[in-house]
Structure 1
């Protein structure tokens, strides 16, 4: 056998028909080859072509996932793990066909260890479903990427979101993983202890691997106490640069802000229309502070002083739960709000991340380029950790515009990497950003990643065509 081209197992060595027959015999109506179901399990949210799998299977346990993978491995048929389908970089496409393993029926909460501030869940449960279950415990799971993504998918892409500046990303909040490896074996990467020096850190290897090394089926997660007091605010600024400078000063002043989100004036205008708000239509920071009542007051006061120093204000505070909910729902709906700015265009969301000290420079340079090219490309960002998103709206019937936006995204990525940043802070690599890994990591590091992939998945059945180009 061999691995060919952009990472596909040699077609002549596959036996897809036999694999699908075995899966049908074993899973019955929990295995589908319906064209509509297959289409739903491919990339839907970007300009990447939709590439459906040959079949979709709906397991209900780790053991059933293991069975599916073992059957696929016998025919060298690709396996694509599927959570909620909310990823932006083509992670769930099946460029070489194969079987999509839909984990949406694996939603069990296996343990809540309140005294240890952790829980164990199946990978198909979403973050909102987990937090609803936790509501009466005084605890919550803080990672909030916006979409109600599955926790397995969030771990696979190393997601973060609006709370990352205080609570970290999935990398910091996943304690252990149960995963099915390419040969069907089930592994557990760690115990629940908060630290360990025993062996390789396989948890961190799998978190962020985008399904290219194994299928995560269970997660042990850190939980956080629900804050005693919460205050949210909207603060307008004269420019995106001044807003970013205020964020940098806030972080450098060790103010423990929980959320700090940037919306440029284009996004604010879209959010006002879509969500019925009346935010000042200039670059805006949305913030949230967590802690004791006294601590939140002090954090708010200190931020107000910094904001004034950079021309920000007046600050509009949202102290009531319903006001905070409305404000953050509007932020999470920004993707759909921005789509309405050009209804017949296709949104192409992308992200980069830079060291916090280079944030203002990178965002301003990106903004200048958007204006120079005449694009409609709203900017939002989890700017507390240097991560921002751009959403060009593209007329897909215009080849010149498509090419202009492709160059724009490439230039933005190169700019971020030149500032010692990364091509993606949280969306992941998927299909679309494979081409940037060599620039970011260099030949030696990329070769090491490819070596790990070949060692763990010698037949290249785990989500081939994503993250790495595998050749022989």
Structure 2
């Protein structure tokens, strides 16, 4: 790895292990504005790239809600609020440079290649996107960029029920819809000092030309009204839109990474009806699933019921345009950890029973290995193990994860 910028290697004793810190590998290279592509190293984050692109008319829209490493986002097949319009990392990674377990350097689409599509051989780029670090170390990602839309408008509208809000989403396909239940809206209000109605709510964003956005807004307003939604609260200027979405993200994510515990505790306080223990015992547990959009109202209602019956505290939020939603559970692991884990398993199996997946964004990791087996079956799982054994016969890369 001498030809790359320096990375830090940490050695762990006990069970053993090596951890690579590649935050200093922070080069943005090979920007091609005419071809809408850019190559980045692991230390480049989403916000860093978009700041670098300022003034070019281009941006990278995949937004998992955190200022994550772009190569890390490729490794986890990240997506987020904009995925329904611009796709996930799977649709926006064109090539990867990967260091394999034996030290060889692989360019998944060929060295310096960046075509929008290819029918040449196996899709190795797709193999490594979402591999969760089990097959190799990604040291560069070539990404697809998008033009900044001419016009962007955001809106908020509330509904009396979860079903009314989610049913509304299935009737239009031209906005970026984000669902927040009544609990999350309460957290947003208390944590960010807002005064939105504490009801099931849709955050909507419209991108396009001035004319097309106007048409989208009008059509969406008619649909929302017919489903009993409230009048829109609009945000047209960048600052107003940022305030709206920042409230959404801050309801879970800490504002300052250097004070992680305090900020997470502040979030816990905004959600939990209980008083905080002075030693900050409350923790957050986040899990997600994804189902066909036609099954989304059903699974949301069943999940809400399950959460109430399990006496668990936490909101439900979702990128409902593609059927993906998250449960963010606030709990004391000493007396609720078991109930939270069982709830997460039930949620995953509920999604599988509705022809969905046990995780739309968060990945398998350690916690959903059994659910992966139930989802894909033994033949598919065996095929994955064969691929893992072929690339990593000594099981060096994230052993025990996924498989």
Match of 1:132 among 41, 44, 51: 51
Give the 5 Å matches for 1:67-466. Answer: 96-190=15-109, 191-251=113-173, 256-257=174-175, 259-336=176-253, 338-340=267-269, 341-342=271-272, 343=276, 344-398=281-335, 401-466=336-401
Q: Is the 8 A contact 1:268 1:284 kept in 2?
A: yes
The offset of 1:374, in angstroms, is: 1.8
Segment of structure 1 superposing worse, 425-434 or 170-179: 425-434
Following superposition, the deviation at residue 402 of structure 1 comes to 2.0
| Structural RMSD (CA) | 1.9
Inter-partner Cα distance in structure 2 for 1:173 and 1:358: 27
Shift of 1:61: 5.5
SS at the partner of 1:348? strand
Does the 8 A contact of 2:6 with 2:24 survive in 1? no
Report deviation, 1:432: 1.3
Matches within 5 A, 1:47-62: 62=4
Query: Is the 1:240–1:283 Cα contact (8 Å) retained in structure 2?
Result: yes
**TM-score, normalising length: structure 1:** 0.78
Write out per-residue CA displacement over residues 303-338 of structure 1, whole angstroms, 9 at most, x where no aligned residue. Answer: 111111211111111111111010011111121474
Q: Which residue does 1:39 correspond to in 2?
A: none
Deviations 1:176-213 (A, max 9, x none): 00000000000111110111111111000000001100
Q: Deviations over 1:196-235 (max 9, x none)?
A: 1111110000000011000000010000011100000001
> Greater relative contact order (Cα 8 A, min sep 6): structure 1 or 2?
1
Cα deviations across residues 220-273 of structure 1 (Å, max 9, x unaligned)? 00000111000000010111111111111113xxxx21x211110000000111
**Conservation of the 8 A alpha-carbon contact between 2:6 and 2:22:** no
Tell me if the contact between 1:239 and 1:283 (Cα under 8 Å) persists in the aligned partners: yes
Determine if contact 2:5/2:25 at 8 Å carries over to the other structure.
Answer: no
Deviation at 1:397, TM superposition (A): 2.1
TM-score, normalised on structure 2? Answer: 0.91
Contact in 1 for aligned 2:97/2:108 (Cα 8 Å): yes
Equivalent position SS for 2:252: helix
Gaps of 5+ in 2: 254-265
